[in-house]
Structure 1
Amino acid sequence: MHALVAAVMAALAGTGQASSLFPFETIQLSRADIGNFSALNFGDLHATQPNNDAPSCRAWPGSQDWPSDAEWKQLNVTLGGALLRPEPVGSACYQGEAYNAGTCRYLVQQAGRTHFWIDDPLSVLTQWPQGNTCPAVLNAKGNCTRGGSPEYVVKAGSVKDVQAAVNFARNKNVRLVIKNTGHDFGGRSTGAGSLSIWVHNLKSFDFVPEYASDVYTGMAVRVGAGVESWELFNHMADHNITVVSPGGSTVGAVGGWLASGGHGILTSKYGLGADQALALNIVTPDGQFATADSKTNRDLFWALRGGGPITVAGTYGVVTSVVLKAHAPISVTSMPVTFSVGQGTSQPASPFPDFNFTSPLNFTGFNFTGFNFTFPNITGFNFTFPNITGGFNGSFPGFGSPPAALSSVETFWKGVSITYRFNPRVIDAGGYCYSYIYPLGNNSFSFTSSASIPGLDNSAVTTLMQPLYDELNAAGIKAAMPTLSTFSSFPYAGGSPFRQTGGGDSPVNTRYRSRLFPRANWADDALFASTFAAIRRAVDVGGYTFHGIAYGPTLAVAGSPGADSAVNPAWRSAVLHGSLMQVQPAALTAAQARAFDADVEAYVDAWRAVTHGSGAYMAEGDPAEPNWQQSFYGADNYPRLLEIKRRYDPWGIFWARTTVGSESWDVQTVDGYPNSQNGRLCRVSSV
């Protein structure tokens, strides 16, 4: 097995500034901290623990094996007061001691415009897996309960805090979850009866002008686990660099987005988020602190890049910081294609109506992500500009122009088909296409798409894109080539009046089912026709919103060390990531939820039928995904990932649905609601 502490020291001695620790990482759990409090002892990976002697379920509040109040208090002493037991903030909306009408109105009407929900230690942004037991709503009925929310939260400010929490949970058989911002569509950062490690405040950042290793030489950055995308954008501006990052401003920059792949506007140019990682610091399941890179703990290094879940790589441990590639500033040219059919399909109202939009809309130096144009979390607006990933400043053309209004439904679908069939040309130029198809009822639909191409001048972009507009016009859709607008990556130094402030987010109940559509489906006319028919049927018959993102993170684009990682192989041949989206009603019974699932699954099954052997993106995938081991990880990757998981975590302390090894456990929900985290975690087979 690995001598992890020694490995960290060796890594520090061998690779210089790139593997140096943030100050919070130098504060580590010591023997003096543990004293005679055995609940904080480190785990022994060499000790045998027969599975038949292990508890069948995690400890549960009120059960005989639940830690005593004195033990929780002692843990808090070790943590220096960082152990929290927050109540659901929605309790302000329910009759009782916590009721406060003014606070409730703020939560419902204003908090989503601020960082409130992101900065709350308990809240997650998708509520149905938690059980919808205390949503913030006006005129709330019934009672507010904790439901699937954790019992305690460790507000981590150091590696010591993380180590103490991991050791306590493992030694006391307490369910453990990890949370940063709460961006999680599958319930993987919440759980009833659990101890949550909240890494949100690990905000450190360093720019490394010259990083050198056996796999990469160039600029790099070190990023703490709590850094959000908007904060990373500001660091890019300070250092005049570009770093591949999430498009949503409040999404964690190096958490589950990276661990499960991570796509963005530069995916076809520089690869996935996972392809950027050069080294990761991690607290492993035995409580030790380790570095994983191309020379040290290479199995973890492989697994952590693409083989992890939503929540900060919490399958193999808790990542505290990551070293990422940094790139020079790059220009990006973007343009929309938008049209609709049917009654009432005019351009949606702007979320910022005080602005007088013109064509082109010119905000030189303005960063749109700061206003939280965060796809796919916002479903109420039909924006025609791209999801800004990597942070780009500039102007967007034609936002104030209405979409082309069509009279024929078949012409509408012909135009959508033409646009999607064109996507590989954009991808091959290093570009990225972002689109939605909205069903509006009464045989009315709206389509919005944006192509963003980095590194080409306007003349080259015009040559690339003109055939698309020509073909749309030939099909009867008036689509003039817009005035081109070019973005430059962060030309302003610190102190710019346009620096990010983070925007806001609100809890929603959006449910995703996804599929990675391979390039082979575009190369054959008949197969493309079948593929597009399956997409169309889910929208015009099923009534679901389709979200399509086209990119090409091939092995060649991934480069070194990205090409040798646990990234789902289906990414490497994909040209379209398609998702079905809908808001799952909060008041569904368990039986209604199962029927709801069965209806949408029929449409996704048709996607699977035309993409046999491909997969899905876990971060925007369904926690009920069938054969998820193959779909999320790849049939060849999963056995190796499972072996690494069992070797580093024989206790199964890190668990979240559809993560590696999770088939050995399940949640016994209080009401049978499918895929809910509102219940006790118990074994279903030996780990």
Structure 2
Amino acid sequence: MKKPTLSFIYLGAFLTGAVAFSKPRALVSDSVQLTQDDIGDFAAINFGDETAASPADANVPGCKIFPGDEDWPSDTEWTRLNRTLGGALLKPKPAAAVCYQGADFNQDQCQLLLRNTSFSTFWLDEPLVSLTEWSQGGTCPLALNPQGNCTRGGFPEYVVNATSVKHIQAAVNFARNKHIRLVIKNTGHDFGGRSVGAGSLSIWTHHLKEMEFIPSYRVGPYRGKAVQLGAGVQSWEAHNLMAAYNVTVVSPGFGTVGAVGGWMSSGGHTYIVSKYGLGADQVLSLGVVTAAGRYVTADPYTNSDLFFALRGGGGGTYGVVTSAIFKAYPPVNMTPSALNLMLSPQPPPNTTMPIPGLITNAEKFWQGVGAYYRFAAKVLDAGGYGFSYIYPMPNNSYMFTTTSQFPAFTQAEVFEFMKPLYTDLNRIGINVTNPAILFTMPYGLPGRGSGSPPSNTRYRSRLLPRENWEDDDLWNQTMKAIRTATEAGFENNFYFHGTLASPTAEAAGWPGSQSAVNPAWRNNRMHAMLMDQTPLQSTDRDTLMQGYMDLLRGVSPNAGSYMNEGDPGEPNWQQAFYGSHYPRLLRIKRSRDPWGLFWAPTTVGSEGWAVRPADGVYAGSQNGRLCRTRGVDE
């Protein structure tokens, strides 16, 4: 598979004494579209018509067509689809198949996957893999001497390696007309099982890599610089564009995450959201392929329903985003300040000098953690961000580590800003010193993306509101909930992760008010997460983890959760992930996709369908047939 060459296209003309605002040229991938000549007499890829369909059409058939069914497309039909796609239809085998005895066995390749892929882009460029393995069903795990056989499980049957809108349109039409499950995948950074699905056709957007800098863009009241990114652009690639044109674009904090798809469409948090708003708040225009197979532009004035829904209302359910135009800001520098605390009831022997950050008393340790978390409200109000972990360690020990990020602050300003925190920590009796040696670097450093091997991380999360910081009693209850859950992590193999961000409506600016971003984000102080890395998920595991999550829900009853880093088993997920926007989003979903073509766990409208798991497979996986559970209007 050859990757398309990245293109940096400088648009815009400068007139004497004035700037000429430029209309961005369509990306090459967006301009290549499906035509009636392409369709000819191949009815399987005919366009749909939302106005002629009704929600009842989503009930027929009762299940998506599955391999082995009488109506599953013949080899001849798949071959013809591939011909329309110009050879972009793939039927790849699971990468780990090389580790299993049989025709695909290759011990050298297996060892390579186990030992060296963390330093390459192998898994990011792999068409099947979701980087969270448990959602696939665990039918072909990577191991040097695995037991049993490698089977396809929840991996898609076919993959369209999309490098144009035409590829996406043909795939959408084929899946809709043939009643086949459809999934959408870029890099596979997916913690909820949205980019895998047994018996499915997958649209792989990873190679839609075009990037365009627009020096002067105008829409509504917005006047300024912008960038246009294809759906496959990863954060590190967007960073290279920023460096090339000396601008800042809000993009994922982890370099290999896609900047346009699921990250953006479910909100998108990163280090500078307290200053500029979420990823969804940056979007000025979108290229979208609808469930009918039509390519449309969505902005505040055209297809405004899609523009609203796709900016925060979840991905994979209203259409396939092919490209997006984002706001671009002047370059900004970041200055971080780190703090580490260690609880060790039994200090190291033969220690005569105090060890900075080492605490032997549990109450004092949790006082220190609470002091930082409460102080972090000031960091957020200054436009900053916090990134923290609390790890259970052996012998009743705990490690707390956090970094506060300050955009547009000098090192001296950060040092002065953090002084009150260290005064409080010293007053408590914690031996730590405000770091005077800091460093400053541009946001979005250029680089190369690599790594991100598959794992079994499962997020369970809660957005904790600012009221919890402003009321002493509620604050104490919040810290008690965090402590109780974290202390249970030692026996139960999970740890606490708290990111602190405040992407208010004021920070988002225009057109932030025209987005479906979960309202809980606008009032957020901490995105509190229990990080579960148990490979074998189960109903018993769900019950255990939900019990600890209920502690966090109990102190934030009217808040919510972040879908991208939330639990696909989240109770009352409609309110938790979408808040008051859900009824409007459901109306848009039914209007734009009356066939029920687009489906993924916990996306809008997904409650009308469910995966029937294969025998012996955890019910939360995507290894099974997708079937209707009830009428769409019930």
Q: TM-score, normalised by structure 2?
A: 0.93
Contact 1:436 1:547 in 2 (8 A): yes
Instruction: Describe the superposition over 1:36-82 as per-residue Cα deviations: whole angstroms up to 9, x where unpaired.
Output: 00000000112145449710000000101111111101000000100
- Greater Cα offset, 667-676 or 573-582: 667-676
- Structure 1 CA distance for aligned equivalents of residues 347 and 153 of structure 2: 40
- Structure 2 CA distance for aligned equivalents of residues 201 and 51 of structure 1: 33
Contact 1:237 1:490 in 2 (8 A): no
Structure 1 residue 405: Cα displacement:
1.5
Secondary structure (helix, strand or coil) at the match of 1:446 reads strand
Aligned with residue 453 of structure 1, among 387, 406, 411:
406
- Structure 2 equivalent of residue 179 of structure 1: 185
Aligned with residue 625 of structure 1, among 561, 567, 570:
570
Aligned with residue 570 of structure 1, among 520, 523, 535:
520
- Structure 2 CA distance for aligned equivalents of residues 620 and 279 of structure 1: 25
Contact 1:334 1:484 in 2 (8 A): no
Distance 1:619 1:345, change over 3 A: farther
Output aligned runs, 1:604-615, within 5 Å. 604-615=549-560
Distance 1:52 1:507, change over 3 A: closer
- Structure 1 CA distance for aligned equivalents of residues 220 and 58 of structure 2: 44
CA RMSD of aligned residues (A): 1.7
- Structure 2 CA distance for aligned equivalents of residues 473 and 241 of structure 1: 40
Contact 1:241 1:489 in 2 (8 A): no
Contact 1:656 1:662 in 2 (8 A): yes
Distance 1:627 1:48, change over 3 A: same
**1:666 aligned to 2:613?**
no
Aligned with residue 35 of structure 2, among 30, 49, 54:
30
Secondary structure (helix, strand or coil) at the match of 1:424 reads helix
Output aligned runs, 1:157-236, within 5 Å. 157-236=163-242
- Structure 2 equivalent of residue 351 of structure 1: none
Secondary structure (helix, strand or coil) at the match of 1:81 reads coil
Secondary structure (helix, strand or coil) at the match of 1:541 reads helix
- Structure 1 CA distance for aligned equivalents of residues 59 and 132 of structure 2: 36
Aligned with residue 147 of structure 1, among 141, 146, 153:
153
Secondary structure (helix, strand or coil) at the match of 1:324 reads strand
Contact 2:288 2:296 in 1 (8 A): yes
- Structure 2 CA distance for aligned equivalents of residues 19 and 65 of structure 1: 44
**1:601 aligned to 2:551?**
no
- Structure 2 CA distance for aligned equivalents of residues 227 and 345 of structure 1: 48
- Structure 2 CA distance for aligned equivalents of residues 507 and 337 of structure 1: 29
- 1:562 is matched by which residue type in structure 2? G
Output aligned runs, 1:17-166, within 5 Å. 17-49=22-54, 50-51=56-57, 54-166=60-172
Structure 1 residue 541: Cα displacement:
2.6
Distance 1:329 1:138, change over 3 A: same
Instruction: Describe the superposition over 1:597-628 as per-residue Cα deviations: whole angstroms up to 9, x where unpaired.
Output: 11111010111111011000000000000000
- 1:147 is matched by which residue type in structure 2? G
- Structure 2 equivalent of residue 420 of structure 1: 373
Q: TM-score, normalised by structure 1?
A: 0.86
- 1:637 is matched by which residue type in structure 2? H
- Structure 1 CA distance for aligned equivalents of residues 58 and 156 of structure 2: 27
Structure 1 residue 584: Cα displacement:
1.9
- 2:575 is matched by which residue type in structure 1? Q
- Structure 1 equivalent of residue 13 of structure 2: none
- 1:540 is matched by which residue type in structure 2? E
- Structure 1 CA distance for aligned equivalents of residues 192 and 313 of structure 2: 16
- Structure 1 equivalent of residue 15 of structure 2: none
Structure 1 residue 345: Cα displacement:
9.1
- Structure 2 CA distance for aligned equivalents of residues 92 and 16 of structure 1: 54
- Structure 2 CA distance for aligned equivalents of residues 527 and 683 of structure 1: 42
Aligned with residue 487 of structure 1, among 437, 440, 444:
440
- Structure 2 CA distance for aligned equivalents of residues 490 and 566 of structure 1: 27
Structure 1 residue 462: Cα displacement:
2.5
Instruction: Describe the superposition over 1:341-390 as per-residue Cα deviations: whole angstroms up to 9, x where unpaired.
Output: 127999xxxxxxxxxxxxxxxxxxxxxxxxxxxxxxxxxxxxxxxxxxxx
Structure 1 residue 686: Cα displacement:
2.1
- Structure 2 CA distance for aligned equivalents of residues 556 and 499 of structure 1: 29
**1:645 aligned to 2:583?**
no
- Structure 2 CA distance for aligned equivalents of residues 514 and 681 of structure 1: 26
Contact 2:288 2:320 in 1 (8 A): yes
Contact 1:345 1:446 in 2 (8 A): no
- 2:134 is matched by which residue type in structure 1? W
The percentage of aligned residue pairs carrying the same residue is 53
- Structure 2 CA distance for aligned equivalents of residues 271 and 47 of structure 1: 39
Secondary structure (helix, strand or coil) at the match of 1:87 reads coil
Contact 1:409 1:443 in 2 (8 A): no
Distance 1:653 1:19, change over 3 A: farther
- Structure 2 CA distance for aligned equivalents of residues 18 and 414 of structure 1: 55
- Structure 1 CA distance for aligned equivalents of residues 355 and 114 of structure 2: 31
- Structure 2 equivalent of residue 503 of structure 1: 450
Contact 2:356 2:431 in 1 (8 A): no
Secondary structure (helix, strand or coil) at the match of 2:101 reads coil
- 1:161 is matched by which residue type in structure 2? H
- Structure 2 CA distance for aligned equivalents of residues 53 and 577 of structure 1: 37
Structure 1 residue 18: Cα displacement:
4.2
Output aligned runs, 1:339-358, within 5 Å. 339-342=341-344
- 1:578 is matched by which residue type in structure 2? A
Secondary structure (helix, strand or coil) at the match of 1:563 reads helix
Contact 2:58 2:594 in 1 (8 A): no
Structure 1 residue 321: Cα displacement:
0.3
Contact 2:415 2:436 in 1 (8 A): no
- Structure 1 CA distance for aligned equivalents of residues 185 and 39 of structure 2: 25
Instruction: Describe the superposition over 1:512-544 as per-residue Cα deviations: whole angstroms up to 9, x where unpaired.
Output: 100000000010111000011001101113433
Structure 1 residue 331: Cα displacement:
1.9
- Structure 1 equivalent of residue 397 of structure 2: 444
Structure 1 residue 135: Cα displacement:
1.2
Distance 1:516 1:499, change over 3 A: closer
Distance 1:216 1:402, change over 3 A: farther
Output aligned runs, 1:189-588, within 5 Å. 189-308=195-314, 313-342=315-344, 404-489=357-442, 499-543=446-490, 544-586=494-536
- Structure 2 CA distance for aligned equivalents of residues 34 and 436 of structure 1: 53
Secondary structure (helix, strand or coil) at the match of 1:46 reads helix
- Structure 2 CA distance for aligned equivalents of residues 656 and 541 of structure 1: 31
- Structure 1 CA distance for aligned equivalents of residues 555 and 345 of structure 2: 33
Contact 1:236 1:490 in 2 (8 A): no
- Structure 2 CA distance for aligned equivalents of residues 53 and 525 of structure 1: 51
- Structure 1 CA distance for aligned equivalents of residues 455 and 403 of structure 2: 25
Secondary structure (helix, strand or coil) at the match of 1:32 reads helix
- Structure 2 CA distance for aligned equivalents of residues 277 and 251 of structure 1: 17
Gaps of 5+ in 1: 1-14, 347-400, 492-497
Structure 1 residue 643: Cα displacement:
0.2
- Structure 1 CA distance for aligned equivalents of residues 172 and 309 of structure 2: 20
Structure 1 residue 213: Cα displacement:
1.2
- Structure 2 equivalent of residue 362 of structure 1: none
Gaps of 5+ in 2: 1-19, 349-353
- Structure 2 equivalent of residue 398 of structure 1: none
Contact 1:331 1:489 in 2 (8 A): yes
Contact 1:220 1:325 in 2 (8 A): yes
Distance 1:79 1:519, change over 3 A: same
Paired residues in the alignment total 603
Contact 1:556 1:563 in 2 (8 A): no
